[in-house]
A = this chain, B = another copy of it.
């Protein structure tokens, strides 16, 4: 009775913790069953994988290679390990997933490469930030060798790079002999926001290697390493194999991705999540601390309001350094609309 939100707490779960908490899309689950028919060659020599390769070629053009893995950390780390020597420097944002959430995986896979951190609004790096970082600590043989730039699309603060912004970073990178990697764990959400085809803001802008994520947007466990151009296939294949990421029953990862690309399932899922997130963003108004462009909403309502929001039953992560007051709400592809309604109602009350 003393809790004015009591009626919300029990009926609605208001789970906005992570899109990793979501389910598998029925179409992808069905694809597993459809492929479950008789013996098939292991390790990617099956017919579904062949079709998957063709599907990616349609998206991105020829002269590229696709390598499926089960996790985003594997995708990022293998891609980066193919772009940098063990003594290389990888430039990324301070909040990049590869820096904060992969327990050093890119360094492990590459045999030692260093992540050089760049600040930037909404977890995006700018040409100035990149240039400045590249100018620091250039002592020839004594310092690590600039090797790659990695950006997240969407960023870890839910912001998207425009095609022009990506091209500008690619130009700087390539001009200095560095490769450009894109962590696309939420690539579909970015594509929906940008109203663009995948190719337009990846390969067409100079991206050299792409972690093409599907897991957060509906798959069970399916991520693709897409490497543009030729010459790195063997290296990627070797690193994938000896890191234990070449699945034996490979068809089952291939069909998830086929279903994801078919009928633009990726687009429907991402559009739904982005749309619901926009509603929450609108409800949150001046609490919002970063542009709500994808399925993530960052809010900074002050400690008391944040506590009240949580007490209302909403589940989410605090974000950023301890005490920053920032919190992250993530809408999943399968989010129940009633949860969003409930959350918006709670926020409205708290803001009133």
Contact = CB atoms under 8 A, between A and B. Distances in A.
B244 A141 contact: no
A53 to B, nearest CB: 16
A345 interface: no
A202 interface: no
Contacts of A305: none
A241 B103 contact: yes
Contacts of A17: 39, 41
Interface residues of A, number: 81
A192 interface: no
B141 A238 contact: yes
A2 interface: no
B13 A142 contact: no
Given A24-B36, A32-B29, A103 B77 contact: no
Nearest to A15: B39
A289 interface: no
A4 interface: no
Contacts of A238: 85, 87, 103, 141, 145
Nearest to A317: B139
A105 B244 contact: yes
Contacts of A29: 32-33, 36
Given A74-B243, A220-B252, 17 more contacts: A13-B39, A20-B42, A22-B249, A71-B245, A72-B248, A77-B244, A85-B235, A86-B111, A87-B238, A102-B242, A102-B244, A103-B142, A105-B244, A107-B114, A137-B321, A221-B247, A243-B243
Interface of A: 13, 15, 17-18, 20-24, 26, 29, 32-33, 36-43, 69-75, 77-78, 85-87, 99-105, 107-109, 111-115, 117, 135-139, 141-145, 215-216, 220-221, 235, 237-239, 241-249, 252-253, 321-322, 332
